[in-house]
Amino acid sequence: MRVWFSERHRRHATDPIRFHDEPYAEVPARAERIRTALLAGGFTDWAEPADHGQAPLLAVHTPGLLEFLQTIYPASRGLRPATAFFQADTFATRSARRRSPHPWAQVGYYAFDIEAPFLEGTWEAAYWSAQCALSAADAVLAGECAAYALCRPPGHHALADQIGGFCYLNNAAIAARYLQQGRPTRVAILDVDYHHGNGTQEIFYADPTVFFVSLHAHPDIEYPFFWGGAEERGEGPGAGFNLNLPLPQGTGDAEYLAALDQALAAIRDYAPRYLVVSLGLDIAQGDPASLAGFAVTTAGFRAIGERIAALELPTLIVQEGGYRLDTLGENAVAFLRAFR
């Protein structure tokens, strides 16, 4: 199985950032730990992403968001005091009556939380993260059974016109739409990240051609809180094509696999042409980016990969979360070996 990876992810150099007096969890070492473990585990077919331009991004995101992503950091440099990174300060609430061109107002309009800071290289890293997903999608379209995009920064919290939760561009959504090639081809997205993929859900919430299925921590106890309930089933033509399976704190291998079987049965019934997997490794026990936490083991990751691979669908795997650095690599290898 080929792996798409870009060293440009390092341009999103988040190591010095601290939020709530704690280290920022989404750091360059995440991708590097996974890369090192895959190479040691025999994954030797690596590729640089091709540049597909902005057209596939605009199939999912608004022109305003893309312009904002490219211009907000330079605009913030005129503020005093200027810091190494820029983040939301004032948010456009539901009672907001106007828009302001001020950089703080802009980031508050396009962000729904403070967890997606901007550095000098953020746009470059996010752009090439999306290109990794698109290049892996090309391989699946060309007939490869499975392809893995080692994306950083992740993407599944990014909505069509908002950022948040470490995410700027929704890599999985961009790839899913690209796989359709302008036709109503059925695509299923299976999100196995610990946190609900609210951005992906909302992008396709009224679209019957993309079936979104998510296993995640219950939104009553975990971020992103405002999305992810079992009652969220889609709307309009997309009604019935959104399936959320929220799980309780402490969910371990057996409980997770039982819910996964339910998700896979629904995907089989949908009969998609392609499968996109939003791979979150933060379901692992002890992941530091969780408030409650699951307890999935490395053996559990292996079983999860095997059951998804047993669908025998052309599969694009897009890296999302996972923040426990000491187990990140071995869990990635355990999951991905099922697709080799």
Cα distances (angstroms) measured from residue 240 to each of 3, 13, 26, 75: 33, 40, 33, 42
Residue whose token pair is 């099922």? 338
CB 154 within 8 A of CB 31: no
Q: Taking the CB of residue 22, how many other CB atoms lie within 10 A of it? A: 8
Residues noted as catalytic: 157
Work out whether strand 22-23 and strand 18-19 pair parallel, antiparallel, or are unpaired: antiparallel
How remote is the C-alpha of 202 from its chain's centroid? 13
* DSSP code for 170: -
Cis peptide before 153 (omega within 30 of 0): yes
DSSP secondary structure string for all residues of 265-312: HHHHHH--SEEEEEE--TTBTT-TT-SS--BB-HHHHHHHHHHHHTT-
How remote is the C-alpha of 330 from its chain's centroid? 20
Residue whose token pair is 């939020």? 19
